Every structure is written in C-alpha cells, then in structure tokens.
C-alpha cells in the first residue's frame, strides 16, 4: 500500500474470507469471517460488502470456499455439486456486472481442474483482486491526467478501497490527483438512503488524510454554482456499449447538474464493469430494494406512517452527459459506441 492507501475491505486470511462490515462503519471497524459460500452470498445481498469490483473479488473467494466444501463432501463429483452455490452467488446482486464476470472467470477455470480444486481456484481469486488493485492505480493516473487545473471535486456514493479490491476507482483518481496537488478538497454527497458518502467515503478520506466536506445530495447543484469545482468523479456498476453508466441512485442528477454548471463529469471503472452485450442504458436491470431503507435510518423510522416508497438502487447516466470514461485500458472522451469498442479492443 502507498500514500493515501491504507484500507482493504476484502481479505483472504487463515484459509477463510474476511469482510469489513460496511453496514456498521464508521462507528465500528468489524471484520466478519466466512467459511460458507451461501453466507457470503447473503453478505453481498445484505451489503456487508458493496461496490461492483469488491463484490466480484468477494464472489471469487466464495467460489474457493464452495469448491473446498464440495470436494470434501463429494470428491470427484465436486464440479456438479458446486453449481448451486455459484447460482446463489449470481443471484445476490443483479446489477453489478463484475459479479457475473468474476463467476464466469472462476467457472472457466473449474472446467479444467483435476484433483483438489482449492489451490488453483484460490490463486485465481487472488489474481482477480491483485489485477483490480493494479487497474485502480492505472486508472488513478489516467484520471488525474485529465485535470488541467487545481480545484475541488465532487463524488457520489463510495468508490474507494471499500468498493474495490483496493485503492478505488473514482476515489483512486482522487487519491492520485491529491498526491499530485491537483485537488484542494473533496465534496462527498451523503448518498441516501444508505449514506455511503457520509459513512464510507468520508471515513476513507479522513483516514487517509484527504480533506473532505459532506454535502446533502440536494446541495450539490448549489455548491457547483459557487464555483471552484472542476470535476464530478463517480464510479459505475455497469457500463454499456454506448457508454451509458449505471451507478448509485443520484448519480444521474449529479451529471445533469454538472453539465448545467460547466463542471466536467468523469466515470471511472475497470473494463470488467463494461458490458458490451448491452447496447444502451435502457437494458440495464435496475435493482429495487426494501422500502424500509427509505422509511428508516439505522432501524429508527423517520417517515410518516402510511406513506409508500419507490427505492431503485441505481440510475443510468447517458453518454451525452459524460465527459470521460476512464478504464485501465485508457480514456474514452465523450463516449460513443465506436469509441467504446475501440477502447475494449486495446
């Protein structure tokens, strides 16, 4: 780990998986240990771990756990008996394409394994995480290279070490740019209803010594109007072939406001997040969650009894509002299907 990079949320240790429980941050730093694949799937659903790249890393390690159990119970028939666990993992979060990418990569390896599967699968899961961290550092440098003037930036949700294998996507760019003295401070949207900005992004930045101020989600436009903000920088859970980007609910609003106020808008994600099989954002499955997430905060009801709720977890920012998509393969400015295809073929 380097400067401004001290956090790892997904750790394989002592033959088991440890996940930093992001539901209880920043009040408590608790690592939960897992040795059952279905429990890991539930942890993904329950948002113990969240963020598309981190979910992918977690799922890969869960396949190792599932294979170990299947081989111990069923011997040479383990490949058949692991499939139910893989399906359970695939069903845990429908929007994060990295989940399916990681499972497909592990599944491809499974087909050629003879004998005990744990060692080769664990090596592959570790490669997935190591490659993600390396990609994040590469994206950090590329994204920082776009910043032509010193100023503040705005980000939404959490896209740092907590959401990835380590270092972060959008926060990786912020970390790299801050190291180069291109960022004066970070404005973090609180990100309702799970408050990932308040609880997680602010926690990461404070922990790594980067100046951060929280914004109510609805305050972003007013803050941009005051001047001094050069970029809005966000991550993504799925990017389509035309450059549409699904991210945490509220991202689309941030992009609309950024365009109106002349603030540039950057999406940062690894190529494992890019789904070239989907032509545009209308085809992205958008997860809806329990309305109680809007009715309550940390178990305390704040909404009027009898009110209903609409609780989509993600929205989609169209390519027309995106100034740059940054992946480990390079930068796509003003994305189009042709530019996306060229980037993916590098």
Whether a cis peptide bond, with omega within 30° of 0, leads into 37 is: no
Size (the chain), residues: 346
Helical pair 37-45 and 83-90, crossing angle rounded to 10 deg: 10
CA-closest candidate to residue 320, choices 273, 269, 280, 276: 280
Which secondary structure element, helix H or strand E, spans residue 250, and what is its range?
A: none
Residue partners of 138: CB distance under 8 A and separation at least 6: 328
Tell me if residue 219 falls in helix, strand or coil. helix
d(CA 29, CA 171) in angstroms, rounded, equals 20
d(CA 85, CA 77) in angstroms, rounded, equals 14
Cβ atoms of 161 and 57 closer than 8 Å: no
Cβ atoms of 175 and 215 closer than 8 Å: no
* Separation of CA 282 from chain center: 20
Residues labelled as active-site residues: 237
Cβ atoms of 234 and 159 closer than 8 Å: yes
Residues paired with residue 13 on neighbouring β-strands, in sequence order: 16
Q: C-alpha angle with apex 51: 95 to 146, nearest 5 degrees?
A: 105
Residue written as token pair 């990835």: 164
């Amino acid at each position: 780990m380097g400067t401004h990079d001290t956090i790892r949320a997904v750790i394989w240790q002592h033959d088991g998986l440890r996940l930093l429980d992001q539901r209880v941050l920043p009040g408590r730093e608790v690592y939960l240990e897992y040795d059952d694949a279905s429990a890991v799937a539930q942890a993904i659903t329950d948002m113990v771990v969240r963020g598309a790249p981190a979910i992918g890393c977690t799922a890969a390690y869960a396949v190792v756990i599932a294979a170990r159990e299947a081989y111990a119970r069923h011997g040479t028939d383990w490949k058949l008996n692991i499939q139910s666990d893989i399906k359970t993992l695939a069903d845990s979060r429908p929007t994060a394409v990295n989940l399916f990418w990681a499972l497909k990569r592990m599944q491809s390896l499974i087909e050629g394994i003879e004998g005990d599967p744990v060692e080769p699968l664990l090596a592959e899961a570790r490669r997935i995480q190591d490659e993600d961290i390396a990609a994040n550092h590469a994206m950090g440098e590329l994204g920082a290279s776009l910043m032509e003037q010193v100023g503040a930036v705005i980000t939404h949700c959490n896209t740092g070490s907590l959401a990835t294998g380590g270092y972060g996507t959008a926060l990786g760019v912020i970390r790299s740019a801050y190291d180069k003295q291109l960022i004066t401070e970070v404005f973090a949207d609180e990100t309702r209803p799970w408050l990932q900005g308040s609880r997680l992004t602010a926690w990461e930045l404070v922990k790594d010594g980067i100046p951060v101020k929280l914004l109510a989600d609805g305050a972003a436009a007013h803050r941009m109007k005051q001047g001094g903000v050069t970029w809005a920088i966000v991550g993504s859970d799925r990017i389509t072939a035309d450059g549409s980007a699904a991210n945490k609910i509220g991202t689309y609003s941030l992009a609309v406001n950024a365009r109106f106020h002349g603030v540039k808008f950057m999406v940062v994600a690894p190529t494992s997040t890019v789904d070239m099989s989907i032509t545009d954002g209308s085809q992205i499955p958008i997860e809806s969650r329990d309305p109680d997430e809007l009715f309550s905060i940390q178990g305390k009801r704040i909404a009027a009894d009898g009110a209903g709720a609409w609780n989509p977890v993600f929205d989609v920012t169209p390519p027309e509002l995106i100034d740059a998509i940054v992946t480990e393969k390079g930068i796509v400015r003003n994305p189009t299907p042709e530019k996306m295809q060229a980037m993916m073929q590098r």
